[in-house]
Amino acid sequence: MLEQSATLFGLPAEVKFCTRCVMSNQRPCSYPEFKHTKDRLTPTMHIAEDGVCDACRFADIKEQIDWANREEELWELLEKHRSKDGSYDCIAPGSGGKDSAYAAHLLKYKYGMHPLTVTWPPIMYTDYGWKNYQNWIDVGGFDNVTFKPNGRVHKLLTKLSIENLLHPFQTFILGQKSIAPKLALKFGIPLIFYGENEAEYGNPIADNSTSLRDKSFFAMQNIQNIHLGGVLVPELIERYGLSMNDLQPYFPAEANALAASNIEVYYLGYYIKWTPQEAYYYAVEHTGFQARPFRTEGTYSKYNSIDDKIDDLHYYTTFVKFGIGRTTYDASQEIRNKHLTRDEGVALVRRFDGEFPNRYFAEIMEYLEIEPDHFLDLCDQARSPHLWMQDNDGWKLRHRVS
Ligand SMILES: [Zn+2]
């Protein structure tokens, strides 16, 4: 039995909540997935002495940015790379969500670029996600390359990432981060544009001071040191009978090839003020994006990350591991964008955070060939004693936002 003060995943022992949003200091910073192991120590969200988290601090900085000036910088960058002969001059990665639809459409139709859209598809498309992906290409009007990995390998690696890391979304994140740089190398396309900088949501503030994406997220020197599903590559080959060819799609771009190229990876969110709600309205108008008519389990919203059935399960696992469910993520972001007050956010978290994702659960377990009870056991093993306690009604968080 672990002590109450014991923490898993290197989480901070004292739970603190930001006084402006509803996020806690247990939120992991983004981290290269291919370094993710069972016993890694996760860097987490910094909350300063005055009680304000880095993401809220950055929201203040964002208010001070001269966006007209930033857009000028963007025009200059694009001018330098815009193709004159009809060839692609940039890659816009995405699977048909509102943010990628918005980014690709702006690049092509506002800024006159020639983007190739690139898709690493969801593990299990929802009906709405599939329709939104098709509309992105058909209504929005883009060329698209979709890379669909070997289904048997995909399933095995997704299962391992659940069993070893309680991280159902890892195979999606791995591919989604590396597919664009790899295809940029292959097609000789110089620019890659992601939408917003994930650092806005809680990485160290310094990460936001550049428009360039940190290469540690998509380049790797030594393949032997890569972990997939928490297992080292040589062991995956040895123990699970996989080949290098099977694993290739999950590897980051080769660091030397990338360094020798002039490919640069940018965030559009550095140059234009990125508001998820506005991205949503824009995508509805220009690329036929549709919200789901029903609320996503675990949160109150209908249009954020709705294309993968496994996404709902993913946020359930963040609730189990860090005490942070999907409502906490959604509400914190909307508080920072001034679409919700903190009190409203607290009420929403108390109502919806950690709701079990019943809608697709049985189907996902069947697809991955995991016994539902086994999954629930894995969840219980991942409950850090400093976050969770158990009484007659079951598991309860020790600390809740108020
Ligand atoms: Zn905050």
Residue 216 pLDDT: 58
**Burial status of residue 28 (CB atoms within 10 A of its CB: 0-12, 13-18, 19 or more):** buried
pLDDT digits (tens, 9 = 90+) for 312-333: 999 999 999 999 999 999 999 9
| Coil/strand/helix, residue 218 | coil
Contact 86, 121 (CB under 8 A): no
Query: How many angstroms is it from 21 CA to the middle of ligand 1?
Result: 4
Return the higher-pLDDT residue of 198 and 297.
297
Residue 276: phi and psi, rounded to 5, are -55, -40
Query: How many angstroms is it from 335 CA to the middle of ligand 1?
Result: 9
Query: How many angstroms is it from 14 CA to the middle of ligand 1?
Result: 17
| Coil/strand/helix, residue 194 | strand
Which residues are close to ligand 1, an ion, with C-beta < 5 A? 18, 20-21, 53, 56
Residue 218 pLDDT: 56
- Token duo for residue 73: 């910088």
| Coil/strand/helix, residue 50 | coil
Q: Which CATH superfamily includes the segment(s) 66-270?
A: HUPs (3.40.50.620)
Residue 209 pLDDT: 54
Query: How many angstroms is it from 280 CA to the middle of ligand 1?
Result: 23
Residue 224 pLDDT: 85
- Token duo for residue 288: 């036929």
Contact 46, 25 (CB under 8 A): yes
Residue 17 pLDDT: 98
State the average pLDDT over residues 9-18: 95
Residue 3 pLDDT: 67
pLDDT digits (tens, 9 = 90+) for 38-58: 888 888 999 999 999 999 999
Query: How many angstroms is it from 250 CA to the middle of ligand 1?
Result: 33
With tokens 């943010």, the residue in question is 99
pLDDT tier for residue 33 given thresholds of 50, 70 and 90: confident
Provide the pairing of β-strand 253-254 with 219-220.
parallel
pLDDT of 400 above 90: yes
Query: How many angstroms is it from 20 CA to the middle of ligand 1?
Result: 5
Which range is least confidently modeled, 73-87, 212-226, 323-337? 212-226
pLDDT tier for residue 2 given thresholds of 50, 70 and 90: low
Task: Output the average pLDDT for the chain.
Answer: 92
**Cα→Cα distances 178→91, 162, 194, 262, 269, Å:** 12, 21, 12, 16, 19
Residues 6 or more apart whose Cβ sits within 8 Å of residue 3: 385
DSSP letters spanning 261-303: S--EEEEGGGTS---HHHHHHHHHHHH-----SSPPTTSS-SS
Residue 204 pLDDT: 56
Residue 182's nearest CA partner among 236, 251, 240, 229 is 251
As beta bridge partners, residue 192 has 91, 265
Residue 348's nearest CA partner among 283, 385, 299 is 299
Q: What is the phi-psi region of residue 241: left when phi exceeds 0, alpha when psi lies from -120 to 50, beta otherwise?
A: left
Residue type, 276: P
CA 103 – CA 93 distance, rounded (Å): 9
Query: How many angstroms is it from 205 CA to the middle of ligand 1?
Result: 13
Q: If you compute the radius of gyration of the chain from its CA atoms, what whole number of angstroms results?
A: 21
Chain centroid to CA 164: 19
Query: How many angstroms is it from 26 CA to the middle of ligand 1?
Result: 12
Residue 159 pLDDT: 98
pLDDT of 298 above 80: yes
State the average pLDDT over residues 198-222: 59
State the average pLDDT over residues 362-378: 98
The single-letter DSSP state of residue 17 is: B
pLDDT tier for residue 359 given thresholds of 50, 70 and 90: very high
Residue 202 pLDDT: 54
Query: How many angstroms is it from 99 CA to the middle of ligand 1?
Result: 22
Residue type, 110: K
Dmax over Cα atoms in the chain, in whole Å? 69
State the average pLDDT over residues 335-350: 97
pLDDT tier for residue 205 given thresholds of 50, 70 and 90: low
Query: How many angstroms is it from 44 CA to the middle of ligand 1?
Result: 13
Helix (H) or strand (E) holding 193, with range, is strand 191-194
Query: How many angstroms is it from 342 CA to the middle of ligand 1?
Result: 10
As beta bridge partners, residue 389 has 396
State the average pLDDT over residues 115-128: 96
pLDDT tier for residue 99 given thresholds of 50, 70 and 90: very high
pLDDT of 13 above 90: yes
CA 181 – CA 346 distance, rounded (Å): 39
| Coil/strand/helix, residue 222 | coil
pLDDT of 195 above 90: no
State the average pLDDT over residues 85-108: 95
pLDDT tier for residue 390 given thresholds of 50, 70 and 90: very high
Query: How many angstroms is it from 97 CA to the middle of ligand 1?
Result: 25
pLDDT of 61 above 70: yes
Query: How many angstroms is it from 4 CA to the middle of ligand 1?
Result: 26
Residue 276 pLDDT: 87
Provide the pairing of β-strand 394-397 with 388-391.
antiparallel
CA 147 – CA 345 distance, rounded (Å): 38
Residue 252's nearest CA partner among 185, 195, 198 is 185
